[in-house]
Chain A
């Protein structure tokens, strides 16, 4: 039968667990439309309120008024701002994010597609590192609370969380790059800049992952400590289960809930790029492109990147919410 569902059928679907999940997802996706609209509105307003024009130069001779005027016409900046806004919205609906001002004749979508894979590769690798390393360190510290292992692990986490990543990045470059190169006559060292699917990835991924690893470790430790004091864990011990089973089957499943909550935003944070990591290691990623776009008032590029980031964050949060359903049986999505 085609057409609209009968109320009874609808009720039947929503009453099942998968049905309510599907409706939840659809509703959340629909919610993204007004969210994106307001993200664009706010970004657009801030961008035009910020001082400076895309045609300003940092120093020296500026473009003449004639050239500026012709550039404004070329890029439609001579139209009233409200008209520019609605023109932009209508082109976004057609998946056209416009031309970059800074890079002549390159489309914003083209520029994003060009730079995002670099950022995403490093972000995903860092993320894959965070879960096993961060969670294991946290669990280990909790199970061996107030022992030397706990102190070493948490000491590491505290240090890693306190050092800004430009310091860590620069330190790694000096130690594993320049000094290693000098000490071994160029035979053993890590490349200090650029992107390639080889040892070029080691330092950027580590620099990016260190802080989230530290956070994840501390969070996991805290939630694990809470979980192992629960009655059901005591019961599991009392039943004589081996430590491995108690930890994996009973403790972890509960202690991971707060960790999963943070993993969504962490993932979004990692794959939207770090300006510092991308600058220190000269990676042509999206984080640096975003900052350069802001500095040079490349309006379409700023908007395009913001829209992409908002989407990534919204999707990551949605995935986390859905993941709850499978991790925590108490959660019902409505």
Chain B
């Protein structure tokens, strides 16, 4: 696409990161608890599998990653754009293929050494090293960064092959303060890629010292030796790791060399309590300040006069849907898929099954993001229209042979029974549950061996539409696009929009693509989940945004939070 006429030079606010917080941005010092009490104890659920941000894929890992390492940018609190973090500004070449990031001046690592552009090059190469097999690498980088596309073909047993690949990547540091990324094709969303938790700088000297000296690029064990020890996890984020008590908690303390003003919170402890009820009792006995409310306790919290005041219902940038296997008749017929989609009462689903933690949504893009548009009511709940569609298709008998693949867990069985009941009541079709153990379900849907699979969904990595639309492009079949509906018109629109630099045009293209998804009932869009969290009233100054971790409201900006006298 034509990108060549505009040179973008956007300088982001460098000092203006202190946004008006939801809970009041200004601190009344009289009310502030003494430094010894500035401790936040939250439940992060599970121990991170790795403390190396480049290897992190799960939200509970990212939660620690974003405190200990800064990416180039982060999402603004209102998700409208990116704002400065590791870089203060960036330029895009006229052809859209070269991103020049101007790094923040005077930034230091937690051990006091200055952060240089070569640390960024090293960190990104570590992330893109195929021998390390970072889990989150492919959706973002392999087709975007120059030379990264060969990721899958590199012989990961050969150090020279891996080195050749890494040296061929379009990553460079012309001077200490400039980090240049060359792309294979224009990507209007690349500033958002730069907000990702795994796109961080790393310290070559620290990693090599922990490995006992220089090592071959294929030696994953040595390359990751640094990440198990709090002493060698040297980051440049607002906090650093003080203690790793395996499977129990991680303690973070302020990074004394961080570039921004010193935070109030002198300690953040992330507990790893996997059982929601246990975390709930810890919250009730004052041992935790912040938890996600387990589904079973939602009604207890809502009816408790004290707890209900401490609860926060927070929209997440996510959406759930039902997948239909479009390679199996009669689900290859859009009419049949639409009939199924139109016969689910989504409000009832949110209220009865999710205890109100969500919002029914019969379109693709969730509220809080550009592209959120509920005007297309093609999939909206309408039993009469659904029955008519199915009757017109003449495939009722065929449809009743279809099965709903179900994980052998209470949550999955409850939900799928609800869906089955809805189809039976509103559409007059019996669709039986096929309950199988969870691992087999994952294997079967990957291989396309299922009829209907409910519900799966997506949580935004960054609030840009590109992060969503590539889920349903033809090439992503069998990976979240379980049903494998393929539409060249859709693929075309998404490819165009991904590269488009004109905001209006880009929005239009995505909007048309969304209409194709909705109107062909590629999947049945159901609801946007909300997070229901409890936060003690003495935790103040939280800036709650849609890009926070689900159980850690405000975690993107904890350095502004504080504890009041209590």
Contacts and interface: CB of A to CB of B under 8 A. Distances in A.
B281 A174 contact: yes
> Interface SS of chain A: helix, strand, loop or mixed?
loop
Contact of A192 (B151, B272, B278, B459): B278
B133 A64 contact: no
Given A67-B133, A193-B287, A284-B247, A105 B138 contact: no
A70 B156 CA distance: 7
Interface stretch (B84-92, B198-206, B221-229, B309-317): B221-229
B281 A64 contact: no
A89 B402 CA distance: 46
Size bracket, chain B contacts: 35 or more
Contacts of A289: 247
Contacts, number: 147
B221 A105 contact: yes
B400 interface: no
B220 A74 contact: yes
A88 interface: no
B246 interface: yes
24 contacts: A52-B440, A56-B443, A60-B457, A60-B458, A61-B479, A62-B442, A62-B446, A62-B479, A67-B138, A70-B130, A74-B220, A102-B49, A103-B49, A104-B49, A104-B227, A105-B221, A106-B228, A177-B281, A181-B285, A193-B273, A193-B278, A195-B248, A284-B245, A284-B272
Contacts of A136: none
Nearest to B284: A178
A102 B272 CA distance: 15
A57 B50 CA distance: 16
Contacts of B228: 104-106
Interface of A: 50-53, 56-67, 69-71, 73-74, 99, 102-106, 111, 114-115, 170, 173-174, 177-178, 181-182, 186, 189, 191-195, 279-282, 284, 288-289, 297
Contact of B285 (A57, A189, A281): A189
A66 B138 contact: yes
Given A70-B156, A186-B286, 18 more contacts: A56-B443, A59-B457, A66-B138, A66-B142, A66-B151, A70-B133, A71-B133, A104-B49, A104-B52, A105-B50, A174-B281, A177-B284, A181-B286, A182-B284, A193-B287, A282-B271, A282-B272, A297-B439
A304 to B, nearest CB: 15
B419 interface: no
B137 A56 contact: no
Interface of B: 47, 49-50, 52, 55, 130-135, 137-139, 142, 151-152, 156-157, 220-221, 224-225, 227-228, 245-248, 271-275, 277-279, 281-282, 284-287, 437-440, 442-443, 446, 456-459, 471, 479-480
Contacts of B50: 103-105
A52 B248 CA distance: 27
Nearest to B482: A62
